[in-house]
Amino acid sequence: MSIRRLPSELIDRIAAGEVVERPASALKELVENALDAGAANVTIRLSGGGIGLIEVTDDGCGMSPDEMRLALERHATSKLPNDSIDRVTSFGFRGEALPSIASVSHLTLESRERGADGWRIEIDHGVRAMEGPAALPPGTRVRIEELFGKVPARRKFLRSPRGEYAASLDAVKRLAMARSDVAFALEHDGRRVLSLQPSSPPQRVAALLAAELERHGVGIDCVRDGLRLTGVVSLPTFNRGMADQQYLFVNSRPVKDRLLVGALRGAYRDLIARDRHPIAALFLEVPLEDVDVNVHPAKTEVRFRDSAAVRGLIVGGIRAALDAESHRSAAREQAAAPVQWITSENARHPGVGRDLSEIQPPHQNFAETPAYARATNHTVREQRPLFNGIRVEPAARAEAAVEPVPSFPLGVARGQVAATYIVAEAEDGLVIVDQHAAHERLVLERLRAGRSDGSVPRQNLLIPEVVELDEPDCDRLEGAVTDLSGLGLEVERFGPTSILVRSVPAALGSPDLRKLLSDLAAEIAELGSALSLQERLDHVEATIACHGSVRAGRVLSVAEMNALLREMEVTPRSGQCNHGRPTWVKLAHSDIEKLFGRR
């Protein structure tokens, strides 16, 4: 085996493998170069998702012909003036992007410094093709054609132009958010897709991210230990099936960092179902010496000196902001919009609400129904068969609206519908509460409040109960005895296949113990050791809460309903259930008036 030094073209090709994965990554490098050159305007043209053409034009400082030649060489950069890689403030610093891209494409570099003439150099797959004068305004224009033209292995892995376009658009959006002071224009296949004027960071984020965030978002601005976090995140009830709208920046550098993504997830734990994702644009500012940007060839990951502090700031900062808004739910916000019934489904997929005008009045004589009779203080007569002998059981109860409505935000209970929803009258509208979702949330918050000060009220069973489960489940519960005891659930191993229960959290009432324990065992098995203890406890708590809450289908007394409403008003985060769905919606008086054509 003979060892040899590789020719420089091959070295560039190998480097390109790391840096230039697809058109979007080449585009990202070019736009970063334009921003590093101090451009105020960046204009991008793409065709075929960038597979056909990527062209980036800037009005930055430009380069002299000599600098251009150097820029196309490996390890040549202007960005580390004092050989220090510890305090990088530019996007680029590796001196690799241009030669790497030039080795796998046909690259045309044109540039002109102010007060000088323009110059052009063309490189064809790593080989100098031509050089000569060029006419262009001051600045730089880079054109990439035939990307991976001679690297069939790479080309095979490209997605359709549509898929590559999506990735390219995403790359541009991230950089445009990072630098809201720069104007960006993007054209794809001759169509203008983006046209962004210089603006403030919040305005830029609003222009690029879900416009709905203005109503369904929460602003973040917090400082801790020399770190600062700003930006906007969505309310838990305004979430997505994909984590594709999470934009994270460290010192203005767009990153896709596992630590940051994990912290964002952590901030929403138990506010959102595991397969749903918040929308976010978060800007983290860290002292330069506390972050290492040289850990990934594409510069999309970073390493923090104190990663626990970063995680703490993100989880704590977002959580505090969400708590401050905890009674808001995306549904309530929406209900203020032109009449729409908000369901938990369309709260998650906003914009698909059903217009109330589609709902037809029932073809039934109201005065005939027991609910009407009760509401108007008529005695309910013997239930009469309606509709050719089909007996209609009363499906709803209502209380007479006689006393004035005291000003409770969630109103006073007027009745229950389908034994599942509480209907309440508030000063400013009609409130509908999902009793199970709401109660589950209250129980969880009660358990959590107890856990944080170590005083979960527990209820000792007069006679400890023995629950039979299979052996692995018993093993799992035995392993979690201490954690469970902290939550008010005292269990102990009683035999190979049985568990003895001594106490349950008081918030639970009298749950079905066998079902509770087997659900907990399943939960513990599923979570494994992947999560921190804190996060495991949170999940277990959520499972317990689900068991302790009133089910849909249970008939509640008016007193019980009002008690639930009052408790919701004073409980943090009661606007959404443990799975990120709203627990209540409100139909404003104005919306009701619209329904009846009074407005």
Ligand X SMILES: Nc1ncnc2c1ncn2[C@@H]1O[C@H](COP(=O)(O)OP(=O)(O)OP(=O)(O)O)[C@@H](O)[C@H]1O
Closer residue to ligand X in complex, CB, 95/198: 95
Residue 299 beta carbon to Mg ion: minimum distance, rounded to whole angstroms: 9
φ, ψ at 317 (rounded to 5°): -65, -45
Q: Write out the binding residues for ligand X, residues 549-578 only, by CB under 6 A.
A: none
The residue type of 338 is P
Closest to 57 in 3D by CA, of 111, 7, 98: 111
65 binding partner (options ligand X, Mg ion, none; Cβ < 5 to 8 Å by kind): none
Q: Which helix (H) or strand (E) holds 139?
A: strand 139-145
Distance CA 241, CA 274 (A): 10
Residue 570 beta carbon to Mg ion: minimum distance, rounded to whole angstroms: 54
Closer residue to Mg ion in complex, CB, 96/399: 96
Closer residue to ligand X in complex, CB, 194/298: 298
Beta-carbon contacts of 196 under 8 Å, excluding residues fewer than 6 positions away, are 176, 183, 184, 185, 204, 207, 208
Distance CA 531, CA 541 (A): 14
Contact between 54 and ligand X by CB under 6 A: the answer reads no
Candidates 91-99, 383-391, 547-555, 581-589; binding stretch for Mg ion (CB under 5 A): 91-99
Distance CA 500, CA 502 (A): 6
Closer residue to Mg ion in complex, CB, 91/247: 91
Distance CA 74, CA 13 (A): 11
37 binding partner (options ligand X, Mg ion, none; Cβ < 5 to 8 Å by kind): ligand X
Candidates 85-93, 207-215, 288-296, 362-370; binding stretch for Mg ion (CB under 5 A): 85-93
Closer residue to ligand X in complex, CB, 77/329: 77
Are 455 and 485 in contact, with CB atoms under 8 Å apart?
A: no
Beta bridge partners of 498: 468, 495
Residue 346 beta carbon to ligand X: minimum distance, rounded to whole angstroms: 44
Contact between 33 and Mg ion by CB under 5 A: the answer reads yes
Secondary structure in 3-state letters for 554-591:
CCCCHHHHHHHHHHHHHCCCCCECCCCCECEEEEEHHH
Given strand 458-468, what is the order of strands in its sheet?
A: 458-468, 498-505, 490-495
Residue 301 beta carbon to ligand X: minimum distance, rounded to whole angstroms: 14
Residue 492 CA, distance from chain mean position? 39
Select the residue interacting with ligand X from 20, 24, 29, 143 (CB under 6 A): 29
Candidates 87-95, 351-359, 506-514, 560-568; binding stretch for Mg ion (CB under 5 A): 87-95
Residue 152 beta carbon to ligand X: minimum distance, rounded to whole angstroms: 25
93 binding partner (options ligand X, Mg ion, none; Cβ < 5 to 8 Å by kind): ligand X
171 binding partner (options Mg ion, ligand X, none; Cβ < 5 to 8 Å by kind): none
Contact between 184 and ligand X by CB under 6 A: the answer reads no
Are 522 and 528 in contact, with CB atoms under 8 Å apart?
A: no
Distances (CA, A) of 420 to 153, 568, 569: 58, 16, 19
Residue 8 beta carbon to ligand X: minimum distance, rounded to whole angstroms: 14
Distance CA 84, CA 221 (A): 31
Distances (CA, A) of 220 to 200, 245, 262: 15, 17, 17
Closer residue to ligand X in complex, CB, 56/568: 56
Contact between 580 and ligand X by CB under 6 A: the answer reads no
Closer residue to ligand X in complex, CB, 75/599: 75
Are 123 and 38 in contact, with CB atoms under 8 Å apart?
A: no
Candidates 29-37, 205-213, 487-495, 525-533; binding stretch for ligand X (CB under 6 A): 29-37
Candidates 94-102, 344-352, 404-412, 429-437; binding stretch for Mg ion (CB under 5 A): 94-102
Contact between 78 and ligand X by CB under 6 A: the answer reads yes
Q: Write out the binding residues for ligand X, residues 79-118 only, by CB under 6 A.
A: 79, 92-98
Contact between 92 and Mg ion by CB under 5 A: the answer reads yes
In the complex, which residues of this chain contact Mg ion (CB under 5 A)? 33, 92, 97
List contacts with ligand X (CB under 6 A). 29, 33-34, 37, 58, 60-63, 71, 76-79, 92-98, 140
